[in-house]
Amino acid sequence: MSKKFTVELSLAEAPDEARARAATALKRPAQQLGLRLKSTGTDGLVFQPSWGFPFLVNTWRHLDRQQMSVRVEPAADGSRVTISGAVMGGKHAQAENAEFWREALGA
């Protein structure tokens, strides 16, 4: 079963710059959690499990609703980044660790 997580971080950049930075900087950490960048938009980024071998494992991950979204909103001192989603239980501690994401974003 997937477990939900939410992490909030602050960045000094404007929201558009922070969103662009997150799109590149979070690819590798998301891969460590078994996710890949699915879509980008003005409201944020969406990461989902990839399709491929082993097919049954990846199908389960989609049915288990493992995913991650990144929202970037304006804040008084720059931007507030909210990373939330659900990952498999073995990766949950890593996903809910704010320092893991802070290192990736260089915040």
pLDDT of 42 reads 81
Rounded Cα gap, residues 81 and 25, in angstroms: 13
Candidates 69, 26, 66; CA nearest to 45 is 69
Q: Domain range spanning residue 76? A: 2-105
pTM: 0.88
Question: Total domain count for the chain?
Answer: 1
Q: Between vectors from CA 4 to CA 10 and to CA 55, what angle results, nearest 5°? A: 115
Q: Tell me: the pLDDT tens digits for 10-66?
A: 999 999 999 999 999 999 999 999 899 999 988 799 999 877 677 777 777 777 789
Q: What is the CATH classification number for the domain harbouring 17?
A: 3.30.530.20
